[in-house]
Every structure is written in C-alpha cells, then in structure tokens.
Structure 1
C-alpha cells in the first residue's frame, strides 16, 4: 500500500515498510525494509550508507517518482509547500542560459525575483548569460543549486550532487552549499556515501544498513559548521568510527 499523508507542520517523516525490485532474471530483491526516520524542520540531514543500499531509491519515493512501495511518508511544510531536488547530473536545459534555467523553476509571479545575492554567493554572477555547454561540471552544479534554492523550498533533496568532481572542486561546492543553506535554512535530506562530506555538512547523519536498508543508527554532529576544519572533521571521524566501527 502507498499512503502519502497530507503535509503539515510536522517534520519530514519516513516509514517505508517494504520496497522491492524484480531483477532482469525475475528474482525479487528487497531494497528497503522497515526504514523509519524523521528530519526536523530546518535541519540538514544526511543519509549515509553503502553503495546500492537504497539511498537514492528512498529519495525517489519521497519525490513521488516511485510509488511502488509499502508504507508512508509526510513532507514538511513552511508555507511554500515547494519541494526541490538536486541530482548527480545538473539537468539543465541546453537551449537556455544559466539565469533562464534558474528562473524557469520559479512560479510565474516570481519570475522577476531578485536573484543577485544567490548568483553572487554561488560565484555565478559572471555566468548568468552563459549556456550549459559553456560551463564546467562544477559550474553546472552550482547552477543546479541556484535553481533549487531560488524556489525557497520547504524541503530540499540532494542526491550525491558532488559525485565525480575532483576533491578540491567538491569541497568548494560543499562550503558554498553550507553558506547558502545557513543564510536561507530549509529542511534538507542529502544522500551520500562520503562520510567526510556528511560530517562537514550535516546536523545529523542517518546511518543505513546494507540492503535491505533500515536505520542502523543516528550520529549527531554538534560542532558548529564554522569550526569544522580538517582537524575537527578528523576528530569527528574518530568519534563516528567508535560508534559505528563497521561503517566505511
């Protein structure tokens, strides 16, 4: 049964009893079973787990892209009722400029909204009139982040948005993401298998088991983001591995 409860003032609530796939050979594969967690309003949470455990499947369910599951979920609401997502691929329209791509995500009455601050903080001010083919992958992902934040969503889903980038570029984008989010907080659920990334960005890390995924435990990151330099993240790594010794 698929039951999406009405949105309310409650946090993001997930209670997926079962999600299965049928393989090409006709074998039923359990992906999620008994997956239950909450993300508080205005919280930045990360779903951390091994590759193939069902993290992206969970996001697809919450985005309404996969309705073949048993269980329920409830999305938060802060008055806007908007949901935004950033995927591994930027998914920009190639015949539109950066600015046009961002503004297309806005409601018609907001198409003339002032986006100067957002473009500036993401380092896109000089790129607004460029087309996606003229951008590096890192810049294209900045444009995808700008498009998501421009809508001022109630909840933002991120599916490994910095995957396949070199570490220097990825780290720069993580810090830009943190800057934009802290200026305009919204409820965030981000999928990652990069523990350092989760420790740098998250308020809480929801640790998943191998498939079929369920919650293995919760790791609260209580250190202020502006104090999460490399030595501090190393200390957090030690704390995490003491709590979850079998997690890579």
Structure 2
C-alpha cells in the first residue's frame, strides 16, 4: 500500500517508504528501498548522494508518481494537486516545437499567458526562443529543460542528474545558471547527483543513501551561504563530509 498525501497545504516534503522492490524477468525479487525516511524543508535545496544503482532515481520516480507499487507514505509540498517541475538526464524536448513552445507546453491554464522574458534572460535563452531543439547544443537543450521545469512555478523541483555527460566547463555554467534562476524563484528542490563537489556547491543539505536496498545513512547540512562557498570553504566542507562519512567511498 502506498499514499501520496495532498491534504491541505504541506510546507515540506516528507518521504516515509517502508519498502520498494522490483521483480526481474526470471522472477527474482530485488529490494531497492527499505526503511527510507527523510524530509526536505520548504524552499530548501537538497541533494541525494549515494552509490550507483542504489535507488536514487527510483525515489524520484516515486515522488513523480511514476512508480506506484511501494509500501509507505509520501507527502509533497503544495496544494491538493502540487505542481511538480522535473529535469531529467535527457532534455526530452519536442523536436517540432520551438524553445518557447516547448517551455510553454508545460504551463498550467492560469499561467498560459505568463511572460517568460526574465526566465529566458537568466538562463541565457533570450535570443533562442524561436530556435528548434535540433539547432541547440546539449548544454542549451538542458537550459530549456530547466526553463520548462521552473516556468510552471513548481511547489517542488525534482532533478535527476541534470548535468551528467556534459564537459565540466558546461556543467559548471549550468550549475551557476540553475542557482541564479532558483534564487530568484526559490522552491523546494531535490536533486540526485553522483558528484559530491556539485552537491557541496548547490545544496543546503546532502542526504546520503546506503547501497541497495537504500536507506538514509545520514545527512550533511551546509550553513555557509552559497555566495561564500569559495574554493577554500568547499575544501573545508569536503573534509568535514569525508570525516562524517568515512569509509562510505564517496571521496571527492
């Protein structure tokens, strides 16, 4: 049995999953999540960090309503029907629609006529609104995917390794752009990443998952304002993180 609670207005994300498993084609049952409990405060940016294949993406899919067969309760922030912005590893843009059309496609009825000029400006897309996906680099396409997720003014933003497979310079540029637009329009955010340095740069809290079946090993809160996280501060945070989670194999 599972429940997505949408009663009234929830201020935070609450995840209480007793169990989630998959059955393989040969009948084997694989336990993916077990006794997974965590919360994300309103307008907090949290990152999930954990071993490859431990169930991080499965957790996001449960929050998105794409996985319904689990035991537990999930409470999403927002109203009875919360708006969920999602950014995946692939941009998934419609090739026959322009940049602006792709972004506007996700808008709810009451936001259909919203001006998106500022959002496009912050993400560096102002001159590309009439371009089509085939005319964009992967980095630009991912900017469009971020714009589409944030244009709906989401109650919660879910990101599944949105900068994976990009070269580091492009990935860093996109991290800065994401922070810029999120800072102008804060919302509860939960991002899956394998990149500890990325998590230290972006998040208020890092939620550390165990190997499969995943549960929360612990959390690492970051109180330093983002604008003060220079190289030395990030090195200090990295050292503190590695001391707290020594032996878990996260490294740098």
The TM-score range, normalised by the shorter chain, is: over 0.9
CA distance in 1, matches of 2:37, 2:160: 19
CA distance in 2, matches of 1:111, 1:10: 26
In structure 2, the partner of 1:18 is 19
TM-score by length of 1: 0.97
In structure 2, the partner of 1:35 is 36
Equivalent runs, 1:88-237 vs 2, <5 Å? 88-237=89-238
Q: 8 Å contact 1:79–1:154 — kept in the other structure?
A: no
CA distance in 2, matches of 1:15, 1:197: 26
CA distance in 2, matches of 1:16, 1:114: 39
Q: CA RMSD in A?
A: 1.3
TM-score by length of 2: 0.95
- Per-residue CA deviations over 1:25-71 (Å, capped at 9, x if unaligned) read 32111100000000011100111101100000000001000001111
Aligned length, in residue pairs = 248
Gaps of 5+ in 1: none
Structure 1 stretches (4+) deviating beyond 6 angstroms?
none
What SS is found at the alignment partner of 1:163?
coil
CA distance in 2, matches of 1:71, 1:118: 36
Deviation at 1:78, TM superposition (A): 6.2
Q: Do the aligned partners of residues 230 and 79 (structure 1) sit closer, same or farther apart at CA in structure 2, a change above 3 Å counting?
A: farther
Deviation at 1:17, TM superposition (A): 0.3
